[in-house]
Homo-oligomer: A and B are copies of this chain.
Amino acid sequence: MDKALYDRPLRPEPWVDRARRATYRALDPAAHPRGLSAANAVLAALIVAAVAAAVLETEPTVSRGRERIFGLLEVFFTTVFAFEFCLRFWAEAENPHLGGGWRARWRWLVSPAAIVDLLAIAPAMVMVGVAPSYLLRLFRLLRVLRLAKLGRFSRAWSLISEAIFSRRFELVLTAFVAWMVTLTSATLLYLVEGPVQPEKFGSIPRALWWAVVTLSTIGYGDVYPETLLGKILAAFTAMAGVGLIAAPTGILAAAFSDAAQRHRELEEEARRVAGDITD
């Protein structure tokens, strides 16, 4: 009963406060630990649509003769996102992590999330065609990252980042060895194939393009050795490529396995501690 008294103000709360709180809950993904609020679901769909429009606008066969439609779409998306930005600024006063009130608003305004949001509405605001404006519009894709703050994704993020971080030295070493192998095979192929195909293997930087395309097992087919010795060296490079892909995969697999086990153990301990308290 005491708790209820403390929570509920004695005077009825003004409707503005209630609206602001509801707005904050609707817009902040962390406020919905288990799911996605309706407002955020609509916003996510709008962001994807805005990015798709910016992507499609660059394709002449789509945009030619439809400049007006894309212009209107842009105005629409910018208006919605600008309105959302203002709402979020207003509602951020309810954010308990930033202190609340105007202080919370200003602190939010200088956060990376808010800057990304501001950049996302900037292009159409600036209206000056200096830089390719679709580039700025693609920044909107970054806004989808906001969804990653959702409770269900935060564990996944921490698992992945923990796994990669715990093996950063192994991964850096593997990348280093990979570059040594790339440079070595490029140098060898330059020596062997250079005189025969000067356009494609006439220098180490040119042979590096072949080495990267081969070791990543992409193999476009624009460059490949033609001499016998070049093919033998390329065969060894190909085998090294399999190993260079297998090693980081194996390291990451082991790291993910460890991180998942650690998470499970922490959860079990948390549950046991909670059980001890309950008992």
Contact = CB atoms under 8 A, between A and B. Distances in A.
Contacts of A163: 250
Contacts of A231: 209
A217 interface: yes
Nearest to A264: B258
A144 B183 CA distance: 13
Interface string A164-177: 00010110111110
A20 to B, nearest CB: 31
How many copies the complex holds: the figure is: 4
27 contacts: A55-B204, A55-B205, A59-B203, A138-B187, A141-B180, A144-B176, A153-B169, A153-B172, A156-B170, A160-B174, A175-B239, A208-B235, A212-B234, A213-B238, A217-B217, A217-B219, A218-B219, A219-B220, A221-B221, A243-B248, A245-B245, A249-B252, A250-B250, A250-B252, A253-B253, A254-B256, A254-B257
Query: Interface on chain A toward B: helix, strand, loop, or mixed SS?
Result: helix
Given A218-B238, A253-B256, 5 more contacts: A138-B183, A156-B167, A212-B239, A216-B239, A216-B242
A58 interface: yes
A152 interface: yes
Of the four ranges (under 10, 10 to 19, 20 to 34, 35 or more), the interface on chain A belongs to 35 or more
A76 interface: no
